[in-house]
Amino acid sequence: MGKNLLIVESPAKARTINKYLGSEFEVMASYGHVRDLIPKEGAVDPERDFAMKYAPIDKNQRHVDAITKALKKADALYLATDPDREGEAISWHLVELLNDAGVLKDKPVYRVVFHEITKTAIQEAMEHPRGISAELVNAQQARRALDYLVGFNLSPLLWRKITSGLSAGRVQSPALRLICERENEIERFEPQEYWTVEADATKGEQPFTAKLSVYAGEKVKQFSITNEEHAREVEQTLLRCAQEQAQQPIDTAAPNDSSGVIGELRVTNVERKQRRRNPAAPFITSTLQQEASRKLGFTASRTMRIAQQLYEGIDVGEGAAVGLITYMRTDSVSLSQEAVAEMRSVIASRFGEDKLPSKPQSYKTRSKNAQEAHEAIRPTSAARHPAELRGSLSQEQHKLYELIWKRALACQMKHATINTVAVDLAADSDDRHLLRATGSTVADPGFMVVYREGTDDGKDESGEKFLPELSEGERIPLNAIRPEQHFTEPPPRYTEASLVRTLEEYGIGRPSTYASIISTLQQRNYVEMDGKRFIPTDIGRTVNKFLTEHFDRYVDYDFTARLEDDLDAISRGERDWVPVLKEFWAPFEQRVEEKKNVSRQEAVQARELGTDPKTGKPVTVRIGRYGPFAQLGSRDDEEKPRFAGLRPGQSIDKITLDEALVLFQLPRDMGETEEGEEVQVNIGRFGPYVRFGGKFVSIPKDEDPYTISRERALELVREKKHADANRTIQDFGDGIQILRGRYGPYVTNGEKNVKVPKDREPETLTHEECLEMIANAPARKGRRGASKGGTTKKGATTSSGKSSTAAKAKSGSSGTKSKSASSSKKATSTGSAKKKGSTSTKKSAAGEGSTSGSSTVKSGTTPKSKAKKEKA
């Protein structure tokens, strides 16, 4: 009797699960996606109900071959890929390939889903299999098709209109718009001056501070005091009043610097309150990425990589590898009853019964478009304390596990109770000038003994601020009155944490895409990091400007969110995927056609800086095919315009006319060498250099070609000549040389290099011997390398919209219904998708243009499933 074959996505998960299932199962990994769209035009055909041409992924073909071979000997196939749309699509594609190979035949196929890799969870999943969900697969297919259609139509347009190597994406581009718009806000921002007035007072030995809240009977607002003159006037009024109402003698000559008593304040009101602070909900993908960024300094990609390791299983000394956290791609804050019960037990034993609420805490998902009902991210066992795992985990794994463990336990603990007090103090006898002092103390820390949520500005909102015990009518010594100048600040640039939060609030992207959105923006050089905050580059702003001016609907936040709503509706079976794509494609295709006529000059609109005072010619800056550059003159002039690339740190939007004119100082003539060779300083493709005669020497990175002196340039030339002289063993004067190289001496004629044999001294070689060595040298081989996008075998398979949605099929004894549908991985051209497996593809053996319909996969506890094929 053969074994059952169970497929997961990663080898790490396979090793963990294999130890739980025993000898009746063989567990293998698909290593991510097994098929993808062919990487060329026509992979999605709108004319045929968005038929999709797939091909096996080259990188993973050997893993598919191994699965195919193993299935021949197996009795049944279990598909245990990740519990989301991508995982569902991987299972469907694998079934398609196995059907094509003819190895499924009458073998039953089960889809099993678990959200944590523990023995109990896996056994539970194996007892309740289902069929492949057509709804989830169709939602993934629709997302993949949309990303492909956007990327393969907009990206080439960007190449033609701006520069090569650019990309646009359905989700990536709205994210770029957010960053660019925030930068525009910052640049337009004009700071406003305002002043605050604070008083330093003391009761006994305890100093405290009060802030002016009412002046001359009017409530003090942010811009009530806007200049120093007014602030000093307020200061003197308060000082005079505080001195006049003092009951004790006051030294009016005492300095206003907190060193002595300069007056008295009178307590007019004391207001005490208690407030509750509730724990935050358990982690979902976005909040985990945000907190890991704030508290640990992790990027979103790093957080997800480490979380994947914790999920897939680590040997912590329990006899087998075990998954330490639940599935990390989720937007659900729900927790299982069993998990909550265990958390409450751990809380009671570790922190005391008084930290438990009377009943479990429950949370509702606030995300605009919550996906499938997963659990929140939590430890698979709350009893597994982070301290116990320190020796089994790497430092970064331990930090992230501890963060997840603390957040999960805190969410089931009692609220914190904070005592607050607000005290009003009068500087005058009529209560027309009031100052307010506030304080807070923690009466009961509750959940805060375990966890406190971070903030984007790094301030701890739960920090205590103590005030001395004060009562109405009490007189308090005044030590100083301090006016302070302030200026309003622009909105902060986005951090990874705040960008993910904003994307989530707008409903843009999903748990699986946040990290890849950010990494794509960085890889495309659309954004740079200033500390931990995003700044758009010139190329990023140019791309965003082009898209917002010509494709405004498709970078609109609400439009993108509505499209995500449609994809969610497909996953719930409420909408069919083909009509959704038709609604998107018709106006999008028309817009692309219209914008093909946009000129390159219009697309990369130049910024005019002014006129060169020497020549009277206009100076402009813009993006070119090789980056941002300045232009002196226009193409209509008799004399050709001059061009100069911007220097590092300069940007199109901020460079001034004077700074741009400096760029045209190159090339700089630096005179001649002692041998009469002309010396010039310039910037080339590989950076700044000094040219002498027909040779070049690089200028060090820390030296400026615009300011380098003649003496320094000649020094670099001499150093270069000295190095070349020491490198030359023999020079025969006709281009034939014997040189010292990195791997030993060699003979060269400038085109061919031939290594000197080990049994010969290079100094003894004759001119004739060198000529003979070069003549007998083999021709240089061309560079080897894979073609872009990978190669596609003949016969990329096609699935159409009609045939890719299989008929419903009853599933054995369970009676559930299952659909199977075409689907695939996110578009690599947009870079906005979750990446599973390779994006390179391999040609299928079926023949170019062959079609693959959908296969109906039945599931149930009594398997009687047969794969069927129908023409697309």
Domain end marker among 437, 457, 487? 487
Same domain as 394, residue 341: yes
- Give the Å distances, CA to CA, from 775 to 17, 137, 563, 593, 771: 62, 62, 66, 56, 6
| pLDDT tens, residue by residue, 178-198 | 999 999 999 999 999 999 999
Taking Cα atoms as reference points, which of 351, 300, 310, 675 lies closest to residue 494? 300
Q: What is the pLDDT of residue 321?
A: 83
| pLDDT tens, residue by residue, 130-152 | 999 999 999 999 999 999 999 99
Taking Cα atoms as reference points, which of 853, 846, 856, 857 lies closest to residue 870? 853
Mean pLDDT of 567-576: 90
Helix axes 395-410, 337-351, angle to 10 degrees: 100
The total number of structural domains that make up the chain:
7
Mean pLDDT of 760-785: 82
Kindly state whether residue 595 falls inside one of the protein's structural domains.
Answer: yes
Same domain as 480, residue 564: no
Same domain as 699, residue 597: no
Kindly state whether residue 408 falls inside one of the protein's structural domains.
Answer: yes
Angle at 561 between CA 557 and CA 567, to 5 degrees: 150
Same domain as 621, residue 592: no
Query: Which two structure tokens, joined as six digits, stand for 480?
Result: 């100083």
d(CA 263, CA 477): 6
Domain end marker among 357, 388, 414? 414
SS3 135: helix
Q: Where are the alpha helices (DSSP H) in 317-435?
A: 337-351, 395-410
| pLDDT tens, residue by residue, 752-766 | 999 999 889 999 999
Taking Cα atoms as reference points, which of 384, 269, 282 lies closest to residue 328? 282
Same domain as 636, residue 581: no
Catalytic: which of 110, 194, 327, 746? 327
**Surface-to-core class of residue 268, CB atoms within 10 Å of its CB (0-12 exposed, 13-18 middle, 19+ buried):** middle
d(CA 683, CA 685): 7
Name the one residue in this structure whose structure tokens are 């890991």. Answer: 292
Q: What is the pLDDT of residue 623?
A: 81
Kindly state whether residue 861 falls inside one of the protein's structural domains.
Answer: no
Same domain as 733, residue 705: no
| pLDDT tens, residue by residue, 640-699 | 888 888 887 788 888 889 888 888 888 888 888 888 888 999 888 778 899 998 888 999
Q: How confident is the model at residue 9 (pLDDT cuts 50, 70, 90)?
A: very high
Q: How remote is the C-alpha of 97 from its chain's centroid?
A: 33
Query: What CATH number should be reported for the domain holding residue 76?
Result: 3.40.50.140
- Give the Å distances, CA to CA, from 303 to 307, 402, 453, 496: 6, 13, 17, 11
Same domain as 400, residue 295: yes
Give yes or no for residue 817 having a pLDDT over 90.
no
Among 313-322, 435-444, 590-599, the range with the most confident prediction by mean pLDDT is 435-444
| pLDDT tens, residue by residue, 552-566 | 999 999 999 999 899
Query: What CATH number should be reported for the domain holding residue 479?
Result: 2.70.20.10
Same domain as 402, residue 349: yes
Q: What is the pLDDT of residue 803?
A: 36
For the chain, the distance separating the N- and C-terminal CA atoms, rounded to the nearest angstrom, is: 37
Strand partners, 679: 692
Least confident span in 289-298, 461-470, 770-779, 834-843 = 834-843
Domain end marker among 414, 433, 448? 414
For the four alpha carbons of 840, 845, 847 and 850, in that order, the dihedral sign comes to negative
Kindly state whether residue 478 falls inside one of the protein's structural domains.
Answer: yes
Give yes or no for residue 838 having a pLDDT over 70.
no
Q: Domain range spanning residue 652?
A: 606-664
Kindly state whether residue 825 falls inside one of the protein's structural domains.
Answer: no
- On whether the CB atoms of residues 488 and 190 are closer than 8 A, the answer is no
Q: How confident is the model at residue 601 (pLDDT cuts 50, 70, 90)?
A: confident
Give yes or no for residue 233 having a pLDDT over 70.
yes
Q: What is the pLDDT of residue 459?
A: 57
Among 209-223, 304-318, 827-841, the range with the most confident prediction by mean pLDDT is 209-223
Give yes or no for residue 635 having a pLDDT over 70.
yes
d(CA 37, CA 51): 11
Give yes or no for residue 127 having a pLDDT over 90.
yes
CB neighbour list of residue 319: distance below 8 Å, 6 or more residues apart: none
- On whether the CB atoms of residues 564 and 142 are closer than 8 A, the answer is no
Q: What is the pLDDT of residue 868?
A: 34
Which has more pLDDT, 683 or 786?
Answer: 683
- On whether the CB atoms of residues 800 and 872 are closer than 8 A, the answer is yes
Same domain as 96, residue 159: no
Q: What is the pLDDT of residue 462?
A: 54
Q: What is the pLDDT of residue 702?
A: 83
Mean of the per-residue pLDDT values for the chain?
84
Kindly state whether residue 831 falls inside one of the protein's structural domains.
Answer: no
For the four alpha carbons of 592, 593, 595 and 597, in that order, the dihedral sign comes to positive
Q: How confident is the model at residue 405 (pLDDT cuts 50, 70, 90)?
A: very high
Query: What CATH number should be reported for the domain holding residue 496?
Result: 1.10.460.10
Same domain as 610, residue 637: yes
d(CA 88, CA 80): 9
Q: What is the pLDDT of residue 854?
A: 35
CB neighbour list of residue 378: distance below 8 Å, 6 or more residues apart: 282, 283, 325, 326, 335, 339, 404, 408
Kindly state whether residue 171 falls inside one of the protein's structural domains.
Answer: yes
Give yes or no for residue 851 having a pLDDT over 50.
no
327 is known as an active-site residue = yes
Same domain as 408, residue 294: yes
Taking Cα atoms as reference points, which of 399, 164, 450 lies closest to residue 296? 399
Kindly state whether residue 404 falls inside one of the protein's structural domains.
Answer: yes
Give yes or no for residue 278 having a pLDDT over 90.
yes
d(CA 656, CA 233): 41
Same domain as 710, residue 644: no
